[in-house]
């Protein structure tokens, strides 16, 4: 069955992006002139996703509003003859069908995914953690969808990380079945460097079948009462097919401040309207003589 629906986990508190996330959802932080969530939704749409399901929390209404009609703003732009800007706003509404569901308490990624169960229904679906912005061609989630269509089961995105960084990530262990694809035996959350079975780290893209909901229901809550989807996938891998896909593309961690700044620069440099001025500015920087103090 075709993957038509994407679940976007946007309910996080954004503690790694404070103080900015104190008043704005972290997925609304701009990369050039577009919020991060727009890049992730555009990735989904380019891959064939038709329905966007936003899992939000109290205070995250701005994310849903962003993809809705802004009547007063659109009327103002039309009256002032700003057709280019008006067309950009109207295009947001046409990207995909957008539905919002509410996670009422911060109970982990597993609980957030389970919140979308009634909307997902009995069909495979994609999951996006918008903390990870991925610039890839084909889109990263499309690469996972291709693995699902070829092999079935659940699919987890992974990337190689330095061996001395494995204790910062969920790490997978598996058996190769094709180039860049493994059938997984286990997923280990932040293992000590000396115990890590590989250097393939889990990244925030997944393709799931409805079976994942039953495994989430069976997963006990951990620290802080949170249910982690990694634990549910690990149990599922003991009983059914779970694959990893080592995607091609550049991943940016929006929760890391240097990662956020790098994404903003790199994505702006890909824009024909922004590249000339930004490239000229960067070439003119004398980094060796810049004062790093505030």
pLDDT in the model for residue 75: 83
* Angstrom distance (rounded) from CA 204 to CA 35: 18
Q: Quick check: is 294 in a domain? A: no
Q: Quick check: is 292 in a domain? A: no
Number of domains in the chain: 1
Q: Quick check: is 290 in a domain? A: no
Q: Collect contacts of 66-75 with beta carbons under 8 A, ≥24 apart.
A: 66/28, 66/35, 66/37, 66/38, 66/92, 67/41, 67/92, 67/93, 67/95, 67/98, 68/93, 68/98, 69/93
Local confidence pLDDT in tens for the 294 residues of the chain:
799 999 999 986 656 555 655 667 888 899 988 999 999 999 999 999 999 999 998 777 888 888 887 778 888 888 888 888 788 777 777 778 889 899 988 889 999 999 999 999 999 999 999 999 999 999 999 999 999 999 999 999 999 999 999 999 999 999 999 999 999 999 988 899 998 999 999 999 999 999 999 999 999 987 778 899 999 999 999 999 999 999 999 999 988 889 999 999 999 999 999 999 999 999 999 888 887 765
Question: Which CATH number does the domain housing residue 112 bear?
Answer: 3.90.550.10
Q: Quick check: is 164 in a domain? A: yes
Q: Quick check: is 72 in a domain? A: yes
Q: Quick check: is 245 in a domain? A: yes
For the whole model, what pTM was predicted? Answer: 0.91
Q: Quick check: is 101 in a domain? A: yes
Domain residues for 187? 5-283
* Angstrom distance (rounded) from CA 98 to CA 49: 11
Q: Quick check: is 49 in a domain? A: yes
Residues 140, 42 contacting (CB under 8 angstroms) = no
């Amino acid at each position: 069955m075709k993957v038509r629906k994407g679940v976007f986990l946007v309910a996080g508190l954004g503690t790694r992006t404070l103080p900015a996330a104190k008043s704005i959802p972290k997925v609304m932080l701009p990369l050039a002139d577009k919020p991060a969530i727009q890049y992730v939704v555009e990735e989904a749409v380019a891959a064939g996703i038709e329905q966007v399901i936003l899992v939000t929390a109290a205070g995250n209404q701005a994310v849903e509003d962003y993809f809705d009609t802004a009547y007063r703003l659109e009327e103002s732009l039309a009256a002032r003859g700003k057709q280019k800007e008006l067309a950009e706003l109207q295009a947001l509404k046409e990207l995909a069908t957008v539905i919002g569901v509410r996670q009422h308490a911060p109970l982990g990624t597993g609980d957030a995914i389970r919140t979308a169960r009634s909307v997902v229904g009995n069909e495979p679906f994609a999951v996006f953690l918008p903390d990870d912005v991925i610039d890839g061609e084909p889109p990263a989630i499309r690469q996972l969808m291709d693995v699902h269509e070829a092999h079935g089961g659940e699919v987890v995105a992974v990337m190689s990380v330095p061996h001395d960084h494995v204790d910062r990530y969920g790490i997978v262990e598996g058996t190769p079945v094709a180039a860049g694809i493994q059938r997984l035996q286990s997923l280990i959350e932040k293992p000590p460097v000396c115990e890590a079975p590989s250097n393939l780290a889990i990244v925030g893209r997944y393709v799931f079948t409805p079976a994942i909901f039953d495994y989430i229901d069976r997963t006990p809550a951990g620290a802080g009462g949170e249910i982690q989807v990694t634990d549910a996938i690990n149990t599922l891998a003991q009983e059914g097919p779970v694959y990893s896909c080592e995607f091609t593309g550049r991943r940016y961690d929006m929760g890391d401040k240097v990662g956020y700044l790098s994404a903003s620069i790199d994505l702006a440099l890909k824009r024909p309207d922004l590249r000339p001025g930004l490239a000229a500015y960067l070439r003119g920087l004398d980094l060796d003589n810049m004062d790093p103090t505030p």
